[in-house]
Structure 1
Amino acid sequence: MFQRLLLLFDAGSAPAPVLTAARHLAPAPESIHLYGLAPERSELETHPPPSLTVLAHLQDATRDWPVRAGVSHQLETHLDIGAFIQTATRLGSDLVIVGPLLGTSPRARVGVILALAIRERMHVLSVGAHCPETQAPGNRIGITVAPDGRGLGSVAAFLTGYARPVELIALTSEASPDRAGELQTLSRALGIAETPRIESLLEGRTGRAEAFDSAALRCGADLLLAPTDAVDDLRALSIGLFGARAMQEAHVPTLLLPRTLPASSLIEERYAVSDSLVLPGLEPRFAVEGVGFLSNVSVPEPGELRVFEGGAPLGAARHQGGTAALPSSWFSHVRGERALAFAFTGDAARDLAPCHVVAPERPLLLLDSALDRAPLEAAFSMMGEVAHLVFVRLRDSEPLDMHRERLRRSLPGLGRPLLLDASAWLDDARAEDVPRQVDAQRLLRVATRLVAGGARIIAVVTRDEHKPRSPFIRTLTPDELLLLPGGPVPEPLPVPEEPSPFFRELALAGGGVCLGGHAIDFELDNARARESVIAAIESARSSVHWQCYIVEDDAVTARFTEALKRAASRGVRVRLLADALYSGYGSFGAMNPALVALSETPNIEVRAIAPLTGMPSLAELKQRNHRKVTLIDTERAFISGRNMGAPYYTGFDEVPLRRTSSYREVPWLDCGARLAGPLVPVLESAFLAEWTRAGGQPYPVPSATPVGTLSARLVLHEGLTDTHTLDTQLALIRHARSRLVIVNTFPLLLELRDALVAALQRGVRVEVLFGSVRPHYGQGIHFPGGALREVADWYVRSRLDEVIAAGGVAYEFAMPPAPAWEPELERVFPHVHAKLLVCDTAAVALGSANLDVTAAYWESEAMLVVHDTPFAERMLSALEPLLAGSHRIDREDGQWRADAGHRAWVGRNWPSLIG
């Protein structure tokens, strides 16, 4: 372990104890330098002085010591601390052994020891006058430990390179119960057999060093480790004043481990780590945080950590972005609960962070760690014996230690609480872009990830008024928990049986069953999509049901409304649902003229979704229905990203664009699917649920028979209730093996962005086709109007920067010149409104769900996932010319680099609630 040794001795030293202690730590060093103090040295004397005799003994003893580069020596007349430190630095000594130095002032001796260990950050072995001359047969090490465990990081770093098996004993003063609990966790992780207390430390500073030496001797230790990270400057001064003679007269050699932390304990940062679970299908994940002055939480810079369990280092791994995901193989032996210690390394070892890992033997009860005391007590009394109580921290505004302390106070009989961190399991970048109002959904999402990994969960308890829902996981509010009957604890809900982990995760994510027997096609061309919908309306026999987010009052909408009126005149029942806010129909007194005209037509009924009056709440403003669905006779369906209006259903070659054209005249790229088969009644039932919620009368929904060969699943997301479309998108990204293609121009949710980066890191090709929220032409010239939309463009692009930096390919959508356009336009860069994700050639997801925070959490969405290789191949073939004709982003491009500051500023300051 140690290779370059420097021995400091004098004439009064007995050489045997120094050599015994040195050889114990360095059995085969590279070099040894003997630094002797010889105040009586004289070359005229006939008989050699005692110092030379000691030197001769030391040189003789090192002859059978395997020293590769040899032994050197020097003699000085007195101890010059500065000169000695210069020698240690010049030689590159990694272990300095200081003998008793009986001819030197004890304070000068301890001064050089502390200077080397604290200021120069070297390992120093202090050998006292009463240390043994021969090595003990065992290998028992005592450790001086601060009551809060400070300094054990240095111990862990030392033990990592100490190959021989040891028995460890921690020596510490009395600690508060909370600190004692942390110390016991660290002790178990490091394999410390016992933790004796040293009561005499409470009597004053004068007995400190002597008390540790006496305790180490009493416990049979042959080496005492003293991490100087546990010694602040005041304690170092007191040791120098009052402990110098005790160290010189010590019975047990003391190895001072060098200081690695800042000297001031008031401002130093410590690390904290969440607990974790060992599940068959998931890597254990831990939150890693720095806790500084006034308990502020920070995300540490990426670095390496070492993990200890049961006295053995499990291995080294990296932490990044505040999360560490460790290999499952490290914990294959774990049964029940085990203590872990994380040692953070980089330039130097850092303090240890304690935590626990649990391989669940019972079902789990997941609880928001910020719950009030009453529901916590109820959960503990009802389920503490039959379930693992697992607490989840949803925000890092408070350190993990504060959450643990609050839980200990609320549940004194619990012991050490098992505290997970939501962001560690969701990879959602500390939820920086996710508002607090959706934390209940995030808690359910953590539960869903754990169930996908094999956990059995009795229930999830959220503190929020609105609770999320899942068909596979029971959710409870605090009031519901308190009202649970006193009977047997409910069993976990059954989870779906699926043929593969991929399908199981998709089923858990979206709750949708994959069904066969469908005919499905897609449409990227706006004009063809328009004519297809109109033709379907014209052929309707019994019903046309249309749900839309935005209804424009323009010429394209007029074509649709005329087709609907004609259908109604034939006796077809037409029901139209429109979002009251974004279609301007029934909110704040606004009435959309196109919808008013439809509502006055016989056989047509128009209803507004969630009309607003007065001063709406944030949830009322954000929790809108974003689905775009058209149903014909409950036999055919269109599931789309297109609203009703010209931008969505006008072909690029149908508009005579000029340089003076408004940005509103530029069509958008969009996508939708035509569907027939068993999923159409499922989509019809979803429409019916929203229809009755809006005040409409119920109607029967007939079943459908298979009409094709394609397999697909329908994913329906209801805002503030579930996150089905987000979790489906993430499942598709996580299971991609070769290629991901995404078509969307909404700012990537940070969790989705990081999932794409992770896909790139495992070798997946990631391509993103995005558009310009403010359309432009030629060499970046914008069409008139919409200046504020340029800020949205910067925001969208800011979320792509890291994907591109990780190797992703991004294209800004461009259309070649059309015959009807003014030639000077050259290429036009329109908006891309499509919501499309292609996973390898295994699955295609399309519909209304964007990849931003609003679609993920707030708004209700509908998405179709098609599991068919030929369908995916046709989609990729249709996208290839769009990608080839677009502008591929080059990170070194002058304009892209020039806009980097705008993107960064908007990315930092754009309010997450806007989405």
Structure 2
Amino acid sequence: MLQRLLILFDAGSAPAPLLTAARRLAPAPASIHLYGLAPERSEPETDPPPCLTVLAHLQEATRDWPVPADVSHQLETHLDVGAFTRTVAQLGSELVIVGPLLGTSPRARVGVILALTLREHIHVLSVGAHCQGTQAPGARIGITLAPDGRGLGSVAAFLTGHARPVELIALTSEASPDRAGELQTLSRALGITETLRVETLEGTTDQAEAFDSAALRCGVDLLLVPTDAVDDLHALSLGLFGARAMQEAHVPTLLLPRTLPAASLFEERYSVSDALVLPGLEPRFAVERVGFLSNVSVPEPGVLTVFEGGAPLGGARHQDGIAALPSAWFSHVRGEHSLAFAFTGGAAARELAPSHVLAPERPLLLLDSGLDQAPLEAAFSALGEVAHLVFVRMRDSEPLDMHRERLRRSVPGLGRPLLLDASAWLDDARAEDIPRQVDAQRLLRVAKRLVAGGARLIAVVTRDEHKPRNPFIRTLTPDELLLLPGNPVPEPLPVPEEPDPFFRELTLAGGDVYLGGHAIDFELDNARARESVLAAIDGARSTIHWQCYIVEDDAITTCFTEALERAAMRGVRVRLLVDAVYSGHGSFGAMNPALASLSKVPNAEVRAIAPLTGVPSLAELKQRNHRKVILIDTEQAIITGRNLGAPYYTGFDEVPLQRTSSYREVPWLDCGARLAGPLVSVLESAFLAEWTRAEGQPYPVPPAAPVGPLPARLVLHEGLADTHTLDTQLALIRHARSRLVIVNTFPLLLELRNALVAALQRGVRVEVLFGSVRPHYGQGSYFPGGAIREVADWYVRSRLDEVIAAGGVAYEFARPPAPTWEPELERVFPHVHAKIMVCDTTAVALGSANLDVTAAYWESEAMLVVHDAPFAGRILSALEPLLAGSRRIDREDGQWRTEAGQRAWVGRNWPSLIG
């Protein structure tokens, strides 16, 4: 509220209009200063000068204010702009009321007003000569607006601190239809609803008179003029041509002080996406600043005040351009409502941006906002009456307003499109490692979030001809969308009815099978894992199916291939399936010696997945099969992170490490799970699908019988077709209530990192065990070779910095001295290749899926989720000594702080396509 008043008047002023206007804006002022102007007298007068009469009337009138006011006064012979401005500053005046000043030049009068509002940032109320002194206060306020909506932010700030009027009327000039629609949105959000009148006020030299006339015609008793809408050229024009009109005005005019830099050719603007109101999700908005050449950036930190229906709902801060607002703010919303976001802080003080929020009353059709015109028209024609058309911007580097404008042009009958932002719902804003090629998957992931929150979806429409899959959400390509007009409207697919929200999200995440009846164990020790696999091979009776990503040509691989050869020789059918690129077998004519030798053995067959021959595309390079699965007789399975080679199956105490040992000789920490029970048949079917895709012959898959008590789900992800493992990992993080333990050394996908930070903020203890991509020993000495891996270490750790800063606990994996090692090594810091996530003591996920962008989107993965508290307890007990023996990262640690610059630089400059 405005508390400290200064009233500027002269001898010719009538006090009533000044007092009416002053009491309306400041019903309980803390102080009032009366600044009177009186002409000099050349000879004595018997009667008091008129200015003293007015001053006496004003002083008498101030006694009627409800709260006693500190009233002071001064009289001057003429208006000295500099002296007057200094008085305003010395008194700390918040509102200056300027009477008609009939004895002063109109240009001098308007010069004072503009100086105070534009330069001194003071509220100024201009009371013209024809203003009445008996107006009913608070009935109707008029607002003058620039055609582009500038100035509404100042209006919003003013209305926040003052009693709401009965009616608001917006007056603008020459607003284009598109901009008028935006003004309508902002006006409704500020409470300007049915009473809105957009006046076209022609001309530039008489706008002050035109606005005053329009306000008088509309019955306005106070006119607000936000000077954020007045650039320097228009201010000059007002001083030259509008000064007399302001002095003669019929309606008091409150000039709101300038809070933004004057408009310029390269003026920045602010924009906010729309959002949905759903029972199980907070509405999420993208918040952005658009500058020269439509460059999009995150606004400076500050408070966003949200207006709806004329009332501020509350204030919130954005995080990296994403604002998640409390659902309670929108509990009253039915259908679509207009919002206005007022920015405060930094250069964005009191700027305003329009938005909409929708509480769906019909099913949704979710569309990529980059679709071409023909499928957009088809969607509007076929489903515009039965579904809410909701568009999603996939790239946050493209301005929201650009997408809205393109949608309006493409579908003229659409009106204002409801535009969501994918990054706002996925929390992966400004993630440069998310390439355009995975937008279809991200759109489906937005749909999954919305369905998990209670939305009903007819379909998701991607602009890509390859479409992602989910058993509970229909996906359509542009060509399929073109076939909809004239055909029956499809119904939303049924969604699983899980009473437990955690299980419902897990089911939606992967569409996977959740079954009981399993016996499950895990193995962190490489040597014991090797012996376990060899024993399983030696015990096989009918089939051995092994799917692997990397096959090294070393002694450990030879040990395994010899065991496979023995099994084949005794009649066991051996099928080995490898990635053609990373096994070095089948691409560009290369042959892996170990695999070539095995393939010559009767009953043994080796096939390579997706071999490359010519110049490969990005998708061919990145879309690899990363699964590591061993199946024995369709009775037992091993789901693991281990490839075929020495680093994965050699124990730490089996290697005589020296300071001169190559980094390749240092074993890695890895993990696999042994599984028996019904899910083995599901894994076998998945292997068969890949085997036949690699041109292998089909074979029968018998059912696997229940053998134990444990429940589990198998999550299979196929690159560029789904994101099952990523969404499962996120579900585990989101539903953790007490503790999360993660074992992995791959650069955290930003979305996963943000989810971990959110978990920390709600009180979950987050612990991460990571390794050294370039192994080292002692106090930071590296084993010879692999220097480029040190850069990869910086990248991995750059993605941990925010987790640690938020309170997460990170450990760099270390091994104590082994009897076979050179004593001078002290502790050794190996690589960690395991992929483990423990959610409270509720669930454990392990398998081949890392936590980076490549595993999330590009590569095919296999992951087992075990729902059993004792199993979770056993794996936590096995991890505890590993955590205790490792190096806990302290943010204040000298070495960690020294490397902060390298981590930050690599984090910014790491090639995004590498992942």
Q: TM-score, normalised by structure 2?
A: 0.98
C-alpha separation in 1, matches of 2:894 and 2:711: 46
Q: Distance in 2 between matches of 1:166 and 1:157?
A: 18
Contact 2:379 2:484 in 1 (8 A): no
Matched with 2:220 is 221
Report Cα offsets for 1:210-260 as digits up to 9, x if no partner. Answer: 111111111111110000011000111111111111111111110001111
In 2, are the aligned partners of 1:588 and 1:613 still within 8 Å (CA)? yes
- Give me the whole-angstrom Cα distance separating, in 2, the residues matched to 1:633 and 1:206: 90
1:305 aligns with 2:304: yes
Secondary structure at the residue paired with 2:205? helix
SS of the equivalent of 1:587 reads coil
Greater displacement, 229-238 / 349-358? 349-358
SS at match of 1:514: strand
> Judging changes above 3 Å, is the alpha-carbon distance between structure 1 residues 701 and 42 closer, same or farther for their aligned structure 2 residues?
farther
Is this contact kept in 1: 2:522–2:671, CA < 8 A? yes
Match of 1:767 in 2: 767
Counterpart in 2 of 1:595? 595
Give the corresponding residue for 2:321: 322
Match of 2:270 in 1: 271
Alignment of 1:195 onto 2:196: yes
Q: Which residue of 2 aligns with 1:464?
A: 464
Residue by residue over 1:124-152, the C-alpha shift from the partner in whole angstroms, topping out at 9 and shown as x without a partner, is 11111111112316510000011121100
Question: Displacement of 1:863 after TM fit?
Answer: 0.4
The aligned residue for residue 693 of structure 2 is 693
User: What is residue 94 of structure 1 aligned with on the other side?
Assistant: 94
Q: Is the 8 A contact 1:198 1:211 kept in 2?
A: no
- Percent of pairs identical after alignment? 87
Offset of residue 164 of structure 1? 3.9
Q: Secondary structure at the match of 1:250?
A: coil
For residues 581 and 254 of structure 1, the distance between their equivalents in structure 2, rounded to whole angstroms, comes to 74
2:24–2:137: 8 Å Cα contact kept in structure 1? no
Q: Which residue of 2 aligns with 1:664?
A: 664
Alignment correspondent of 2:156: 156
Q: Which residue is equivalent to 1:206?
A: 205
- Note the C-alpha offset of 1:45: 4.4
* Amino acid paired to 2:53: T
SS at match of 2:513: coil
- The 5 Å alignment of 1:413-424 reads 413-424=413-424
CA distance in 2, matches of 1:176, 1:265: 20
Distance 1:43 1:346, change over 3 A: farther
Q: 8 Å contact 2:681–2:701 — kept in the other structure? A: yes
2:24/2:138 contact within 8 Å kept: no
Q: Secondary structure at the match of 1:431?
A: coil
Aligned-partner SS, 1:141: strand
Does 2:338 align with 1:339? yes
Distance apart, 1:397 and its partner CA = 2.7
Structure 1 contact 519–709 (Cα < 8 Å) conserved: yes
Does the CA contact (< 8 Å) of 2:396 and 2:429 recur in 1? no
1:75 and 2:75 matched: yes
Q: Deviations over 1:450-477 (max 9, x none)?
A: 1111111111111113211111111111
Query: Structure 2: how far apart are the matches of 1:752 and 1:858?
Result: 16
Distance 2:397 2:525 in 1: 47
- 1:192 and 1:250 map into 2 onto residues whose CA distance is 24
1:188-587 matches, within 5 Å, as 188-193=188-193, 194-199=195-200, 201-202=201-202, 204-346=203-345, 349-484=349-484, 486-587=486-587
Could you give the per-residue CA deviations for residues 847-878 of structure 1, whole angstroms, max 9, x where no partner exists? 00000010000000000111111111111111
Partner of residue 118, structure 1: 118
**Deviation per residue, 1:9-43 (Å, 9 max, x gap):** 11111111101100001000111111111223689
Q: SS in structure 2 opposite 1:769?
A: strand
Output the amino acid matched with 1:307. Answer: V
Equivalent residue number for residue 887 of structure 1: 887
1:287-317 deviations in Å (ceiling 9; x for gaps): 1000112221111123211111111211111
> Is the Cα–Cα contact under 8 Å of residues 670 and 835 in structure 2 kept in the other structure?
yes
Matches within 5 A, 1:776-791: 776-791=776-791
* Shift, 1:513, TM fit: 2.6
* Partner deviation per Cα, 1:460-519 (whole Å, 9 max, x = no partner): 111113211111111111112223472211111111121311111111111113211111
Report the Cα distance in structure 2 between the residues aligned to 1:124 and 1:31, rounded to whole angstroms.
Answer: 16
* SS in structure 2 at match of 1:607: strand
Which whole-Å deviations, capped at 9, do the CAs of 1:432-454 have from their partners, x for residues lacking one?
22111111111111111111111
Q: Is the 8 A contact 1:31 1:67 kept in 2?
A: no
Q: Secondary structure at the match of 1:192?
A: coil
* Structure 1 residues 901 and 695, CA gap change in structure 2 (3 angstroms): same
Partners of 2:84 and 2:731 in 1: CA distance: 62
Paired residue for 2:147?
Answer: 147
Q: What letter matches 2:499 in structure 1?
A: P
C-alpha contact (below 8 Å) 1:198/1:212 kept by paired residues: no
The alignment partner of 2:498 has SS state of coil
Amino acid at match of 2:772: S
Contact 1:688 1:698 in 2 (8 A): yes
Unmatched segments (≥5 aa) in structure 1? none
Offset, 1:351:
2.4
User: Which stretch shifts more, 885-894 or 415-424?
Assistant: 885-894
Provide the secondary structure at the position in 2 that maps to 1:565.
Answer: helix
User: Considering only aligned residues, what root-mean-square deviation do their CA atoms show, in Å?
Assistant: 1.3
Please give the alpha-carbon distance, in whole angstroms, between the structure 2 residues aligned to 1:720 and 1:633.
Answer: 31
How far apart are 1:195 and its partner, in Å?
3.1
Distance in 1, matches of 2:614 and 2:294, equals: 42
* C-alpha distance in structure 2 between counterparts of 1:661 and 1:169, whole Å: 80
CA contact (8 A) 1:40 1:49 kept: no
Aligned 8 A contact 1:340 1:356 in 2: yes
Which amino acid is the alignment partner of residue 475 of structure 1?
Answer: T
The secondary structure found in structure 2 opposite 1:819 is coil
Structure 1 residue 69, shift from structure 2 partner = 5.2
Could you list the per-position Cα deviations for residues 540-587 of structure 1 after superposition, in whole angstroms to 9, with x for gaps in the alignment?
A: 111111000011111111111121112112211111100010001111
Corresponding residue of 2:166: 166
SS in 1 for 2:430: helix
Letter paired with 1:47: D
Within 1, Cα distance between the matches of 2:648 and 2:204? 80
Per-residue CA distance 1:337-387 (angstroms, 9 max, x = gap):
111111111257422111111111111111111111111111111111111
Measure the CA separation in 2 of the matches of 1:773 and 1:562. 30
Distance 2:549 2:39 in 1: 94
- Higher alpha-carbon deviation: 454-463 or 45-54: 45-54
Name the SS of the counterpart of 1:700 in structure 2. Answer: coil
Question: Is the alpha carbon distance of 1:696 and 1:84 closer, same or farther for their aligned partners in structure 2, counting shifts above 3 Å?
Answer: same
What amino acid sits opposite 1:700 in the alignment?
A: P
Conserved? CA contact 1:364–1:459, under 8 Å: yes
SS at match of 2:210: helix
- Which whole-Å CA distance do the structure 1 matches of 2:589 and 2:789 have between them? 27
My pick for the range that moved more, 39-48 or 725-734, is: 39-48
Q: 1:700 offset after TM fit, Å?
A: 1.0
Corresponding residue for residue 703 of structure 1: 703
Query: Do 2:269 and 2:291's aligned partners in 1 also have CA atoms closer than 8 Å?
Result: yes
Aligned position for 2:823: 823
Q: Which amino acid aligns with 1:156?
A: A
In 2, the alpha carbon distance for the partners of 1:165 and 1:847 equals 63
Q: Distance in 1 between matches of 2:90 and 2:285?
A: 42
- 1:784, CA displacement in angstroms? 0.5
User: What SS class does the counterpart of residue 429 from structure 1 fall into?
Assistant: coil
Tell me, what secondary structure is at the counterpart of 1:675? Answer: strand
Supply the AA of the counterpart residue of 2:759: A
Query: What letter is aligned with 2:333?
Result: V
Residues in 2 aligned to 1:881 and 1:593: alpha-carbon distance in whole angstroms: 39
Q: How far apart are 1:431 and its partner, in Å?
A: 3.0
Q: Indicate the residue corresponding to 2:17 in structure 1.
A: 17
Distance (Å, rounded) in 1 between the aligned partners of 2:144 and 2:485: 51
**Distance in 2 of aligned mates of 1:707 and 1:722:** 31
Counterpart amino acid of residue 685 in structure 1: S
Q: Aligned letter for 2:212? A: D
Give the whole-Å Cα distance in 2 for the aligned partners of 1:372 and 1:27. Answer: 57
Are the counterparts in 2 of residues 853 and 912 from structure 1 also a CA contact under 8 Å?
no
Alpha-carbon separation, structure 2, partners of 1:300 and 1:94: 28
State the number of aligned residues: 913
